[in-house]
């Protein structure tokens, strides 16, 4: 009897254990998910850690620094991944490397970088050759910077193909490379980001301004910069605007080295060879400044001259009526945007792409609006301009 009682008790206990181990139907749809969730949560950090090596933040999650526009993706294969940099989060060291120190425009970008760097506690320095035609000198400086343990390079170059192998080396070393004063969608080797205005769209708008000014008929001279992407895009914008107006006839084209001196020489040669020229379009303000000096020396103040940059001296020349108009690309603000994008890249929140900065056509009617805000210019204007409400 005791044996039977013992067996009954044993069977009862066994059934209770089985009942406890077998969940009810609702539990099958909820408890397994709840039990699996911690495993997914535990796996998530590993996925998050691995993600930077494979992709950046989603574009929709990123807002570009004001006054810039949100990024547009680069062409396929042109994007290096910010999330793969492995930035420690400690104080960043960033090199700003423009093509030359001879241009105040690049000094203005540098001033914007420097001002924001002071606010953010970031170490920055500028390194560039004196002349914009010294491509070899800039390449040597990039090589030197890559030995200085920098976290990022903010780069502008007049020769993309010469710089490409060094940019590739920088990216391979884990150095962020952000191009500034550019809109190139497919630099010859991948870069982490591009900051700048739409060069072709800017001068196309100025071309349309010229067409209206001359009722679609004028003899045109062209002063290019050094061969490369920047000159092609800027001059190309004017020519795009002129394409539908046969009366806008290009009669001569000459190269320059982007500076006042060669702009002056080329303008002298062009006007002497083609006195019929009524309009001169240029690739930047320094060429336009030199061209205006040549026109004045030849007593050809009837020639309309157009630039591209928003350089302080250019704006003052336009306000004084020495030449006609420019595409103001607000370089000081561009520098601030470029540094913020660089920091966002180092911190893994920048999704990559091209961040466009704004432009506006400036002529004698609105030059004062910009000259009266010296805090946004470098160097400061030569005199004080009163803001008119």
- Its sign, for the CA torsion 33, 39, 45, 51, is negative
Q: Lowest-pLDDT range, 4-8, 212-216, 259-263, 363-367?
A: 4-8
Q: Tens digits of per-residue pLDDT, 127-182?
A: 999 999 999 999 999 999 999 999 999 999 999 999 999 999 999 999 999 999 99
**Interval 319-337 mean pLDDT:** 97
DSSP string, 243-272: TT-TTEEEEEEE---SSHHHHHHHHHHHHH
DSSP string, 151-219: SEEEE--S-HHHHHHHHHHHHHTT-EEEEES---SS-SS-BSEEEE--HHHHHHHHHHHHHHHTTT-EE
Partners of 305 in the β-ladder:
280
- Model confidence band, residue 191 (pLDDT cutoffs 50, 70, 90): very high
Taking only Cα atoms into account, the Rg of the chain, rounded to an integer number of angstroms, comes to 30
One fold for 61-197+332-358 and 200-328? yes
What whole-number percentage of the chain has pLDDT above 90? 82
Say if residue 26's pLDDT is above 70: no
Distance of CA 306 to the CA centre of its chain: 23
Residue 363 CB neighbours (<10 A)? 17
Closest CA to 332 of 353, 308, 349, 357: 357
Q: Any idea how long the chain is?
A: 389
DSSP string, 303-350: SEEE--B--HHHHHHHHTTSS-BEEE--HHHHHHHHHHHHHHHHTT--
Q: Lowest-pLDDT range, 49-58, 61-70, 282-291?
A: 49-58
Partners of 195 in the β-ladder:
180, 355
Q: Is 292 helix (H, G, I), strand (E, B) or coil?
A: helix
pLDDT of residue 383: 97
Strand 279-282: give its sheet, edge to edge.
Answer: 248-254, 218-223, 279-282, 304-306
- Model confidence band, residue 55 (pLDDT cutoffs 50, 70, 90): low
Q: How far is CA 55 from CA 52, 266, 347, in A?
A: 5, 48, 13
d(CA 57, CA 64): 13
d(CA 82, CA 100): 27
d(CA 61, CA 42): 24
Residue 320, both tokens: 């004084």
Say if residue 29's pLDDT is above 90: no
Say if residue 45's pLDDT is above 50: no
* Domain locations in the chain as residue ranges: 61-197+332-358, 200-328
**Interval 297-311 mean pLDDT:** 97
Q: Tell me whether strands 279-282 and 123-126 are parallel, antiparallel or unpaired.
A: unpaired
**Interval 13-18 mean pLDDT:** 35
| CATH of range 61-197+332-358; options 2.60.40.3080, 3.20.20.80, 3.40.50.2300, 3.40.50.800 | 3.40.50.2300
Say if residue 317's pLDDT is above 90: yes
DSSP string, 3-66: HHHHHHHHHHHHHHHHHHHS--HHHHHHHHHHHHHHHHHHHHHHHHHHGGGT----GGG--PPT
Sole residue written with tokens 């108009």? 325
Q: Lowest-pLDDT range, 42-56, 147-161, 205-219, 267-281?
A: 42-56
- Model confidence band, residue 58 (pLDDT cutoffs 50, 70, 90): confident
Region 200-328: CATH code: 3.40.50.2300
Say if residue 114's pLDDT is above 60: yes
What whole-number percentage of the chain has pLDDT above 70? 85
**Interval 252-263 mean pLDDT:** 98
**What average pLDDT is seen over the chain?**
88
């Amino acid at each position: 009897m005791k044996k039977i009682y013992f067996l009954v008790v044993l069977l009862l206990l066994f059934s209770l254990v089985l009942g406890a181990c077998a969940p009810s139907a609702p539990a099958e749809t909820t408890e397994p998910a709840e039990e699996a969730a911690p495993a997914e949560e535990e796996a998530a950090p590993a996925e998050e850690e691995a993600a930077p090596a494979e992709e950046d933040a989603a574009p929709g999650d990123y807002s570009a620094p004001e006054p810039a526009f949100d990024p547009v993706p680069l062409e396929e294969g042109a994007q290096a991944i910010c999330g793969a940099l492995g930035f420690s989060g400690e104080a960043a060291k960033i090199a700003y490397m423009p093509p030359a120190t001879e241009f105040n425009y690049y000094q203005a970008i540098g001033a914007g970088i420097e001002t924001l760097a002071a606010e953010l506690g970031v170490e920055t320095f500028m390194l560039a050759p004196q002349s914009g035609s010294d491509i070899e000198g800039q390449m040597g400086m990039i090589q030197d910077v890559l030995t200085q343990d920098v976290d990022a390079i903010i780069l502008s170059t007049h020769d993309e193909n010469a710089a490409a192998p060094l940019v590739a080396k920088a990216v391979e070393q884990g150095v962020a490379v952000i191009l500034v004063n550019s809109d190139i969608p497919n630099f010859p080797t991948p870069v982490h980001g591009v900051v700048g205005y739409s060069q072709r769209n800017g001068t196309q708008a100025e071309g349309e301004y010229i067409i209206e000014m001359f009722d679609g008929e004028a003899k045109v001279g062209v002063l290019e910069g050094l061969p490369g992407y920047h000159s092609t895009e800027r001059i190309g914008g004017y020519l795009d605007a002129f394409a539908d107006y046969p009366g806008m006839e290009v009669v001569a084209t000459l190269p320059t080295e982007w500076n006042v001196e060669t702009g002056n020489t080329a303008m002298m040669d062009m006007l002497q060879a083609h006195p019929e020229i009524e309009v001169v379009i240029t690739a930047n303000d320094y060429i336009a400044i030199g061209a205006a000096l040549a026109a004045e020396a030849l007593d050809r103040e009837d020639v309309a001259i157009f630039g591209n940059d928003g350089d302080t001296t250019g704006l003052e020349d336009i306000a004084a009526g020495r030449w006609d108009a420019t595409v103001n690309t607000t370089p000081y603000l561009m520098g601030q945007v470029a540094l913020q994008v660089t920091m966002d890249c180092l911190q893994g929140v920048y999704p990559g792409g091209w961040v466009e900065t704004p432009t506006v056509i400036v002529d004698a009617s609105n030059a004062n609006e910009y000259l009266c805000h010296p805090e946004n210019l470098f160097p400061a204007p030569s005199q004080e301009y009163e803001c008119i409400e």
